[in-house]
Structure 1
Amino acid sequence: MGGLNIDVEKVDMVGNPAGLKAFLKLRDNHPAFETVTQNGYIGIPALVLENGDVVLDKDQLAAIFNK
């Protein structure tokens, strides 16, 4: 991710029905996705931080990790 030097755990949603189900549950219940879904987008990519916050924008992610 653009040299941010962060550890991530990727979740396969194509070949893993459990991964897809977990993402859909998150997307349908987390307020970070409200604007995304209202505009007809899926919400991918999404990064869930350790504190439960969801980041959907790479510029926002860069701002968080480049403080």
Structure 2
Amino acid sequence: MAHPKRKHSKTRRDKRRTHYKAVMPALGVCSNCGSSIRLHTVCDECGHYRGKLAVEKEVTA
């Protein structure tokens, strides 16, 4: 298995790790109910996508 001939410095290690970061998901507002949703997905609250009913939601009483 390959192994380094010389030790990598902390600076070099940290420069490589600068791109390891969390990405915030793109959020939008449902056009039907106004709840916050991830873009390009069906609304969890009402089941609508781009103004049309995509998923039938059961009514809980």
Q: What TM-score bracket applies, with the shorter chain setting the length?
A: under 0.3
More strand by share: 2
More helix by share: 1
TM-score between both structures, scaled by the size of structure 1: 0.21
TM-score between both structures, scaled by the size of structure 2: 0.21
Higher relative contact order (CA 8 A, sep 6+): 1
